[in-house]
Structure 1
């Protein structure tokens, strides 16, 4: 299968590298060309526009920031749907609203007959690099089976959750759990420090107990050192929490804990931490952890 990949940010870069290592010939496109060059050196083929990619590729995978970026890439003037070419399946790994996915899927089908799979991922940059991402999918089962071998290059679990939009709903559930858990961990570390306990040892002390989790073990070190590398930004998490709030409003779902977490990330953004790693939400509390 000839495949393409649009969006070469923190997640897209390692995902494409995994595809190349698996032996796929990958055509790539990104709005800023500087991110294309390292992948071309690794064996990818550069496309000038998404439309050019759609002429040649049966399946195109996206991993861009928000719904507007997805729309521009797929339905824009030089988007994937602007030509009648080889394109049959669009796999969107971006995190956007379920309704936006449904709307764009319908327009894609109408314009060029291609199928849409909303397939947001969980596992972060590390999961992409190691090929252990979890992918939650909305769309047709037959379309998913066609691209499942491709997804296997960078994932360990692919789950069909229902029709188009179901993958995005599942990702919002994921982000609700992640964001609220990270907020609770940050508050617990603040409580430890404010009472004379070394916060960096909390993950060791709680390991194996009821409070233990992957997030606890990963984020206590990241929250208690000042030089945390940006793997997922505050603004990215805030974007997803805003989408959670919008979906909850539409479905009349009460989510007071998620709402409280949203305010924490909003405060972090107002403090100028939007581009920083999510671990820096510790700075919303009074203790500065050595910075």
Structure 2
């Protein structure tokens, strides 16, 4: 349910009502913000409209009645189209003062789009990718890592607090995206390790379902362990994040690593694993289902382990 509209609060527009964007939009409504929404598919907009959200016919229309616009889109191509396409935000007669991009895209792409946005509109672009998954969006506990001018980030932080427990400026434009990609490197290698441990336990005759409780509080414990190992054993009805999306993020990690001359040995191997999963038709499955690729493999496919002392 939406709360009473906060007087004198900035008008907020939100583009991208997907798995993450939808609960974020609901929390903005619940906090009392005047909210305008746009989504490529209008199916998810009816419920928001019934609670006070104003549906816009195009990003341009949304921008003309918004002071701040948030994006939560699938990739850099989608961001560029929504912002600069034929009916994009940049073509509004009066552009919003701030554009906050919660999508995960390459830092260099963010810098290019931000320069173009500022040249066309004079507005500020803040890259603000999030971490915490759909559960964090629903509960308002997301972590947001921002790139942009400190004053601009401070100006929009009260809005971000509707769905974030932590908002951190990491540096200039692109720094938020670089931090998110570092986050994804940690997340995906951890998930792959959990998947390998799950298969190892099963083949060693251990009840894998007991592992999360057994390891709780130890060094191997994590939100990922507690959340994803059960999903590996019982696949969820719908994905919270897909293998295809994570592979897209790892492709951006690899691009950043090339630019920064940073080695990616572990991430590189996991990227191969995700590619193999996509090739096997698992791309739209929950990220936990990379375990299926490992379950189909035998020791002959594994690198030799040196047991010399």
Q: Give the TM-score of the pair, scaled to structure 2.
A: 0.91
CA distance in 1 between counterparts of 2:296 and 2:202 reads 8
Identify the match of residue 244 of structure 2 among 231, 235, 240.
235
Contact 1:194–1:287 under 8 Å retained in 2:
no
Once the two structures are superposed, the pairs formed by residues 71-150 of structure 1 within 5 Å of their partners are 71-150=80-159
Q: Can you give the 5+ residue segments of structure 1 that lack an aligned partner in the other structure?
A: none
Structure label with greater radius of gyration: 2
CA distance in 2 between counterparts of 1:112 and 1:128 reads 30
Where does residue 36 of structure 2 map in the other structure? 27
Measured after TM superposition, the shift of residue 78 of structure 1 is 1.0
Contact 1:228–1:279 under 8 Å retained in 2:
no
Measured after TM superposition, the shift of residue 84 of structure 1 is 3.3
Where does residue 251 of structure 1 map in the other structure? 260
CA distance in 2 between counterparts of 1:179 and 1:259 reads 11
Q: Does 1:66 align with 2:46?
A: no
RMSD in angstroms over aligned alpha carbons? 1.1
CA distance in 1 between counterparts of 2:122 and 2:106 reads 22
Aligned length: 288
Where does residue 11 of structure 2 map in the other structure? 2
Contact 2:68–2:96 under 8 Å retained in 1:
yes
Measured after TM superposition, the shift of residue 228 of structure 1 is 4.6
SS state of the match for residue 259, structure 1? helix
Q: Does 1:280 align with 2:289?
A: yes
CA distance in 2 between counterparts of 1:287 and 1:269 reads 14
CA distance in 2 between counterparts of 1:57 and 1:208 reads 46
Measured after TM superposition, the shift of residue 227 of structure 1 is 3.6
SS state of the match for residue 94, structure 2? coil
Measured after TM superposition, the shift of residue 286 of structure 1 is 2.1
Identify the match of residue 53 of structure 1 among 31, 49, 62.
62
Contact 1:5–1:26 under 8 Å retained in 2:
yes
Structure 1 window deviating more from structure 2 (114-123 vs 204-213): it is: 204-213
Deviation string, structure 1 residues 53-111 (Cα, Å, up to 9, x no partner): 11111100000000000001111111111123151100000000001100000000010
CA distance in 2 between counterparts of 1:161 and 1:224 reads 37
Contact 1:190–1:287 under 8 Å retained in 2:
no
Q: Can you give the 5+ residue segments of structure 2 that lack an aligned partner in the other structure?
A: 1-9, 298-309
CA distance in 2 between counterparts of 1:180 and 1:80 reads 36
Measured after TM superposition, the shift of residue 42 of structure 1 is 2.3
CA distance in 1 between counterparts of 2:69 and 2:27 reads 15
Measured after TM superposition, the shift of residue 207 of structure 1 is 1.3
Deviation string, structure 1 residues 227-268 (Cα, Å, up to 9, x no partner): 453100111100000110111112111110000111111111
Kindly report structure 1 stretches of 4+ aligned residues shifted beyond 2 Å: 226-229
Q: Give the TM-score of the pair, scaled to structure 1.
A: 0.97
Identify the match of residue 174 of structure 1 among 179, 183, 187.
183
SS state of the match for residue 159, structure 1? strand
Contact 1:228–1:277 under 8 Å retained in 2:
no
